[in-house]
Structure 1
Amino acid sequence: TEQLLGELARVGVATADISPGLEDPAFQNQPYDTHPNSRAHRHFAQALLPHLPPPSAHP
């Protein structure tokens, strides 16, 4: 992730790293299933929201 974020920054692409906390068991479906659960998706959405343009900026 850090390498990709660094390369994107180098070429001027804006990014938002939402990966911190992804390994938290509270964000996983089951102990044996590490796919993100609804709590993780809520966390991701809240982390991305400040980086999105306001709705009025969309055509």
Structure 2
Amino acid sequence: MSAAPKACCRSTEWAEFGHIDQHRLAHRAAQTLVIDGRGTLNPDTWTEAGWTYRALGRS
């Protein structure tokens, strides 16, 4: 059995990684922490889905 992820980190601007279902992913994660390494995710969308949102270069 594999362990559930403890964080989700986006470090690319590739379009195919920009359309993630935050609610579905939250059910698979051990912790709901997303780290936006490129500043391309919508913080409101992620926090409304129950995630703790952190971005490099943002407070």
Q: TM-score range by the shorter chain?
A: under 0.3
Q: Normalising by structure 1, report the TM-score.
A: 0.22
Q: Normalising by structure 2, report the TM-score.
A: 0.22
Of structures 1 and 2, the one scoring higher in RCO (CA 8 A, sep 6+) is 2
Q: Which has the higher helix share?
A: 1
